[in-house]
Structures are given as structure tokens and as C-alpha cells.
Structure 1
Amino acid sequence: MNIEGNTVTVQKSAKDVFDFFTKLENFEQLMPESIQKFEVDGDSFIFGLKGMPEIRLVMKEKTEFSNVTLGAASSKLPFTLAADLQEISENETNVTLKFAGDFNPMMAMMVKKPLTSFINTLTENISKL
């Protein structure tokens, strides 16, 4: 299952946006208002939203100034969340969030709507940076 958020333009350089995404504590600023838990632990963070199980994300991959990919710490629900960065100018960068999960069809049907909403909220909050 793949979900791609809208591309948003941030009024910052690709380096600044990349640096923001590689500091995991910054993800707390992007979370929905319904967040109930957020804790950074080394190269991972755990977050909990109201009515949902807690999820731990681990830094999987970084490509300087163009991509930051986080992945699920648990192999029970394998997925990645990538932020693709495209520098437009010295002070403008396009950001696109991409979710990729390997779920069975029943699970995919259950999580598609809340995940799409989550990606849209993250994207909206990125646009406010």
C-alpha cells in the first residue's frame, strides 16, 4: 500500500529542511493535535495518537539534502515513511511525504483512511515551517 502526500513548498533551503528532518525531536512539531506521547530514543522515536497504538519509527536512510526515510521498528507491520526534498531555489524546497507499507488487504483497508489523514496532517504542518 502506497500513500503519497501533496507536495508542499517550504521557504527554507534543502539543507535546512534536511537538517530539520534528521533531528528526530523535530517530528513532534509535525504531529497532529491528538498526540498523546512523543519520545526520542537515539535514532528512533515513539509516538502515540489518541485511539491508536503507539508506533516506533527508526531512521533508516538519509540522502543528503534530498531524502530522509524512517521505518517501522517492528517487523509485524513493515512500512516506511519517506520525505523527498527537491530544492527549487536557495530558499525554497518542495517536500513530498511517501508512505509505503506491506499489509494484507484487510489491514490495508482498515488503515488506509487514518494513514491518509495522518500524512495530510504532517504535510500541512510541514508547509507551516
Structure 2
Amino acid sequence: MKLQSPKATLDKSTEDTFNFLSDVKNFETLMPENISKFEVLGEDKFLFALKGMPEIVLKKKEMTPNSRIVLGAAGGKLDFSLIADITEIEANKSEVQLTFEGEFNAMMAMMIKGPINKFIETLATNMPKAINTIA
């Protein structure tokens, strides 16, 4: 299953955007309002839970400076990745698209597609405001 967020346009360079997304504690500012738990577990790992959903631990798996960050499930029953692709538009303007990729059986995919789609859309929607508050 592969889901993509709308592209978020940011008034920051690709380097600033990459640095913001590289710091896992910044993901708290991107989370939806229905978050029930957020905890940084290390410099490359965080845990979060949305109301009515199980806790999910994400860990940095791969980083390509100023262009891509891949977060993956750290343990748990589901194996998936959350990928942030960063593209330069102008010197101080960049664009981010989030992609969720995972292998799920048909029943599971049907159940989680809606909530995951809404989740990554919310992360992308919250990104411009969150990143612009950082100097």
C-alpha cells in the first residue's frame, strides 16, 4: 500500500526543512489534534498514539541530506515507512511530500487506509505553520 500526502510548500530552504524534519522532537508540532501521547525515545526515535489507536514507534532509517528522510516502524506488528521527500522550489522555498508505504493484507489495508491518509495529510498541512515558527 502506498499513500501520498498533498505537497506542502514551505518558506524555508531545503536545508532548513531537512534539519527540521531530522529532529524527531519536531514531529510533535505536526501531529493531529487527536494525539493522546507523544514521547521522544532517543535522538532518532519517537513514540506517538492517536486516540483509539495503538502506540506507534517511528525510527529514522535513512537520510539523504536536504532531500529525503525515511522513518520506519520500530518493532510492533506492522512494517511500514513514512518518507519525506524535500524538493527545492527557489533559494528559500521548498516543498515536502510525505509517502506512507507498507505491506498489509487486503483486510488490514482496507481498515487503515482512511486513517493513515488523514494522518499524513494532517502532518503535511501542519508543516508550513510548524516550520515557520522556527527561526
Q: TM-score under structure 1 normalisation? A: 0.97
Determine the structure 2 residue equivalent to 1:36: 36
The answer to whether the 8 A contact 2:38-2:49 is kept is yes
Superposed CA RMSD in Å reads 0.9
CA–CA distance in structure 2, aligned partners of residues 83 and 112 of structure 1: 18
List per-residue Cα deviations over 1:49-100 (Å, max 9, x = no partner): 1111100001000000000110001252110000000011111001000000
What secondary structure, in the 3-state scheme, does the structure 2 residue paired with 1:69 have? strand
Gaps of 5+ in 1: none
Q: After alignment, is 118-127 or 11-20 more displaced?
A: 118-127
Q: TM-score under structure 2 normalisation? A: 0.93
1:19 to partner: Cα distance: 0.3
Gaps of 5+ in 2: none
User: For this pair of structures, how many residues does the alignment match?
Assistant: 129
CA–CA distance in structure 1, aligned partners of residues 109 and 17 of structure 2: 30
CA–CA distance in structure 2, aligned partners of residues 125 and 39 of structure 1: 19
Determine the structure 2 residue equivalent to 1:101: 102
1:26 aligns with 2:29: no
Determine the structure 2 residue equivalent to 1:88: 89
Deviation beyond 4 Å, 4+ runs, structure 1? none
Determine the structure 2 residue equivalent to 1:52: 53
What secondary structure, in the 3-state scheme, does the structure 2 residue paired with 1:127 have? helix
| Letter paired with 1:125 | N
List per-residue Cα deviations over 1:100-128 (Å, max 9, x = no partner): 01111110000000000101111100132
Mapping 1:4-19, distance limit 5 Å: 4-19=4-19
The answer to whether the 8 A contact 2:56-2:76 is kept is no
| Letter paired with 1:27 | F
What secondary structure, in the 3-state scheme, does the structure 1 residue paired with 2:66 have? coil
- Name the % identity: 52
Determine the structure 2 residue equivalent to 1:73: 74
CA–CA distance in structure 2, aligned partners of residues 31 and 6 of structure 1: 16
